[in-house]
Structure 1
Amino acid sequence: MNPLHRRHFLKTGVAASVASAAPVLTAALAPATAQAASPASTPPAQPTSEKPPKVTQILARYLVNARYEDLPANVRREGVRTLLNWVGVAVGGSREDPVKRSVAALGPFSGPPQASLLGRTDRFDIMNAAFINGVSSHIFDYDDTHLKTIIHPAGPVVSAILAFSEYQPVSGKDFLNALVLGVETECRIGNAVYPNHYDVGWHITGTCGVFGTAAAAGKLMGLTEQQMVWALGLAASQPVGLRESFGSMNKSFNPGRAAANGLFAALLAARDYTSSDGMIEAKRGWANTISTKQDYREITEGLGQHYESTLNTYKPFACGIVIHPAIDAAIQLRNENHLTPDMIESVDLKVHPLVLELTGKKTPQIGLEGKFSIYHSVAVAIIDGAAGEKQYSDSVVRDPQTIALRDKVTATVVPSIRPEQVDMTITLKDGRKLHKFIEHAIGSLEVPMSDQQLEIKFADLAAGILPREQIQALMQTCWQVESLPSAAAIAKAAVPPRGN
């Protein structure tokens, strides 16, 4: 199988649309960044025998000097959209079984009630709150996605810094700056090792998310450059997540654990708990240990000039990103032709090899498995015209009508099809053939979800958990994060009234 490479997700030239702005680096940062060439003069990759640049120190220096005032307007806006989407999915997942089990398991051992669980009235210590909110935000596989790496950036980062903001006062501007820096850190580190790291079986949201969390939390704690180096080093010692967990509760465990682990690293570093100064790039450090590819330029080049957060995307469908083109095609054909299941003879898909590797479960038995079944996803898209969290319940996966249509779906690997594409043909019982080719699905960089679509998604997720008026107020609080005196207002606004 051809490995999935980030280039498959982006058209040539997308990088040129990434936001540019004046560097945020101060004079103190200049010596470190001089080691990283500009994109226009990038030298050939260094032979592995040569000593790599001091990546951990370069990144740490950038993080401690980066200011909110230097964030370009489009970067701030995407950070706010990332926050809104995360709050919606975290509230939406708050009553699901993995959260209930986490609350029951950890409640007897939790420390002081320092932080909220979104969508619930429970309060936990910040470490356990970060973990449980991280689990909640990933349960539906409905969270944000950095398509270059398939990292879900917000889960680890926001889960940790929102919990911390309830423990120590944090302004909305500082909160947003930390969020952006956390996303930047985890995605740049992911770029450096992707796709090799992912292909061998690591769940990259967990393994890289811990760095983003340590960076964001460390920024809010005011770590020195040396302490930030240690925080990144301690994060490197805690990679979590394997792709074998996909389809089970363990998958949402991974971003939750990355949130808690990164916060753990920053808290220790703040007390001068030391680590190696080169834990990312050293011969026996993180990158060389967990990947056969290490491109350190992805981490160090263009810091403060271009931002990975502008490449973040938001899911319109509650399942693995590689299924989205097929769902988009199915819904379009359904709506254009007023299709009902009884009209259909067969559904034939041409897909990229990765689609079946990740989502080839032909006969899912539970909702979580349905999220990794392109067959189930196409069936519900045709039946309901949707693929939200309701379409991935245990009852829908076992519904006879869903199963009957699912059995009519076939998927054939065609190497020329890119991961973000699908070629669908629906044959009707009357002999007609309906065809749809999707180049870029809704929710991609090329066809992004609008603010209004994000609000509709948010309201649907929170319905039944929060009152309608509270849902609207919570969305406004997220949109206005930059003006909040205290970011803790977001968490407080997401707690339901007693009895809900």
Structure 2
Amino acid sequence: MQTATPRQADQDVTLTLARYLVQARYEDLPPAVIHEASRGLLNWMGCALGAARHETVQAVLDAQTPFFGPPQAQIAGRAQRADILHAALINGISSHVLDFDDTHYRAVHPSAPVLPAILALAEWKRCSGRELVLAYVLGVEAEIRIALSVFPEHYDRGWHITGTAGVFGAAAAAGKLLGLDETRMAWALGIAATQSAGLREMFGSMCKSLHPGKAAQNGLSAALMAQHGYTSSTRALEARRGFGQVMSSRFDPAVITTGLGDSYELLRNMYKPYACGLVQHAVIDGVLQLRREYDLAPEDIEAVHATVGPLVVELTSKPEPRTGLEGKFSVFHALAAALVFGAAGETQFGTAAVLDPRVVALRRRVTTELDPDMRKLEGRVRITLKDGRQLDRHVPEALGTLARPMSDADLEEKFNGLIGDLLPAGRTARLAQACWDVARLPDAGEVARLSAGAC
């Protein structure tokens, strides 16, 4: 593969990335990356199916169904099919709304913008599983590198980086499936750049999941438009008025191009055991460990105190959430629900759990303390019991992080739990196997078709 010198790469970031995406081959992928793609697909599919009946998904279906085009692609967990652009939108929303999807160790939920775009396209075009896996890996690589080139200042400004960077991942992955040449791939990235969007103000509302949904739809559209000759600047990433410099005052173009093909960001992906923001997971881990070890009941507990890092305070400080979506951004709810129910899955972050009187009562006895030196995925909890005892637990790394990863068996258990009885008998196991075997499938659309629901 021909690579640019560091100086050329800094000057021609968009074209350098486009060249890499076009030239990359499935045969270049290490076995560990191929396996991680199966893990990511399984986890993504479970999250999408688990939310298939969520009110957020129903609302967007009610609004968009009258405008569906031909039935080209499956909507996960539904009997309905849609044109590929609407399928990408809806599956992108459903796979993120539970906040149970994957998270890169530094930034971005990588799969929610990329997989909805390429699963829809692969089903329509009848692409092979190998083609899908390569496109997925490359889409994640593009979106993460672009995200990290503006991170953290871009995120600190208030941009939801899953939306703003995810559109590039969807465009790159779809462009790979479409076989775009270097110029058209650069156009696709440019068309994506001018549609980059997502505001952190939307956290705790339905609109948070709209960000990867629109990223998937807009990225797919960008690749299709480029395929048909729709042009853009070929310096959309690096130009003075391009994505990087407009979206951040600390844009580092070298992050996008240095070492392309030498390592893969998908290997730095993490999977959630709990259905909320990853920054809360360490303290959830801590209270669940203490609950199990001391056989605690809610009525035993006088107070809960959590020592947390800056992001927990910034992102999850809603003291009185009113809905399940708000509950995902309340560390007070997360700890109370975990102690009341002994779990922190999607049920514990539903609206019924948020309004449960036992949870509300305990939530009001949860306090937090900021430790500015605490790492993002670290936490400390103290539970004070009514008999005066104090139970302490320090969690250096939450379950699901790179230091304590979820195993393949853990991911399949999560997948099965999210799907429940949504699919006909026997189909859940077939779908899981298709995800594990995706690289060997002659038609990657089989994965999408197996996700069809009964209604």
Aligned position for 2:85? 127
- 1:56 equivalent in structure 2: 14
> 2:136 — aligned with what?
179
Q: 2:103 — aligned with what? A: 145
Write the mapping of 1:104-253 to structure 2, written as runs, cut at 5 A: 104-149=62-107, 151-253=108-210
CA distance in 1, matches of 2:169, 2:212: 11
3-state SS of 2:232 partner: coil
Task: Say which of 340, 344, 351 aligns to 1:387.
Answer: 344
Cα deviation for residue 404 of structure 1 reads: 0.8
CA distance in 1, matches of 2:61, 2:360: 34
**Aligned ranges 1:294-373 → 2 under 5 Å:** 294-373=251-330
Q: Residues 17-36 of structure 1 correspond to what in structure 2 (within 5 A)?
A: 26=1, 29-30=2-3, 32-33=4-5, 35=7
Can you give the 5+ residue segments of structure 2 that lack an aligned partner in the other structure?
A: none
User: Any conservation in 2 of the 1:115–1:125 contact (CA below 8 Å)?
Assistant: yes
Counterpart CA distance in 2 for 1:168 and 1:418 is: 45
2:60 is aligned with what amino acid? S
| Corresponding position of 2:226 | 269
Give me the identity figure in percent: 51
Q: Deviations over 1:224-275 (max 9, x none)?
A: 0000010001110001210000000000100000000000100010011111
AA matched with 1:160: A
| Aligned residue number for residue 353 of structure 2 | 396
Match of 2:51 in 1: 93
State the Cα distance separating 1:384 from its structure 2 match.
1.5
Residues 323, 36 of structure 1: alpha-carbon distance in 2 compared, 3 angstrom cutoff: farther
Q: Say which SS state the counterpart of residue 444 (structure 1) adopts.
A: coil
SS at match of 1:79: helix
Q: For the residues of structure 2 that align with 1:117 and 1:95, how far apart are their CA atoms?
A: 12
C-alpha distance in 1, partners of 2:305/2:439? 48
Paired with 2:135 and 2:306, the residues of 1 have a C-alpha distance of 42
* 1:359 Cα offset (Å): 0.2
Partner deviation per Cα, 1:115-168 (whole Å, 9 max, x = no partner): 10011001110000000000000010000000211x000001000000011211
8 Å Cα contact 1:201/1:243 also seen in 2? yes
Query: What is the deviation of 1:34?
Result: 5.2
Q: Secondary structure at the match of 2:426?
A: helix
Alpha-carbon offset, residue 221 of structure 1: 0.2
Deviation, 1:467, is 3.0
Whether the aligned pair in 1 keeps the contact of 2:146 and 2:165 (CA below 8 Å) is: yes
Post-superposition offset of 1:36? 7.1
1:464 offset after TM fit, Å? 2.5
Which whole-Å CA distance do the structure 2 matches of 1:36 and 1:56 have between them?
11
Structure 2 residue identity aligned to 1:131: L
1:418 to 2:367 alignment:
no
Verify: 1:485 aligned to 2:449, yes or no.
no
Deviation of the 1:355 alpha carbon: 0.6
In the TM superposition, what are the counterparts of 1:448-467 in structure 2 within 5 Å? 448-467=405-424
Shift of 1:299: 0.7
Cα offsets for 1:441-480 (capped at 9, x unmatched) = 0000000000011001000100131134111110001000
Three-state SS of the structure 2 residue aligned to 1:138 is coil
CA distance in 2 between counterparts of 1:467 and 1:346 reads: 44
Q: Deviations over 1:335-373 (max 9, x none)?
A: 011001111111111111221110000000111000000
SS in 2 for 1:339: coil
Structure 2 Cα separation of the partners of residues 351 and 101 of structure 1: 35
Structure 1 contact 156–258 (Cα < 8 Å) conserved: yes
Cα drift, residue 494 of structure 1: 0.7
| Conserved? CA contact 1:36–1:301, under 8 Å | no
- Hey, what's the Cα distance between the residues in 1 that align with 2:417 and 2:424? 12
Q: Deviations over 1:363-416 (max 9, x none)?
A: 001110000000000011111121111001111101110011111110011112
Aligned residue in 1 for 2:31? 73
Q: Is the 8 A contact 2:98 2:275 kept in 1?
A: yes
Distance in 1 between the 2:391 and 2:425 partners? 40
Matching residue of 1:494: 451
The letter of the residue matching 2:32 is N
CA distance in 2, matches of 1:169, 1:418: 45
Matched position secondary structure for 1:60: helix
In the superposition, the TM-score normalised over structure 1's length comes to 0.90
Alignment deviations for residues 268-301 of structure 1 (CA, whole Å, 9 cap, x no partner): 1001111111000000101101111111121101
**In the alignment, residue 273 of structure 1 is paired with which amino acid?**
Y
Say whether 1:260 aligns with 2:202.
no
Give the aligned CA root-mean-square deviation in angstroms: 1.1
Q: What letter corresponds to residue 17 of structure 2 in structure 1?
A: L
Q: Match of 1:451, as an amino acid?
A: D
CA distance in 1, matches of 2:5, 2:289: 48
**What is the alpha-carbon distance in structure 2 between the residues aligned to residue 341 and residue 121 of structure 1?**
41
Corresponding residue SS for 2:11: coil
Q: Deviations over 1:153-184 (max 9, x none)?
A: 00010000000112111000010000000000
2:398 is the alignment partner of 1:434: no
Aligned length: 455
1:36–1:300 CA contact under 8 A, matched in 2: no
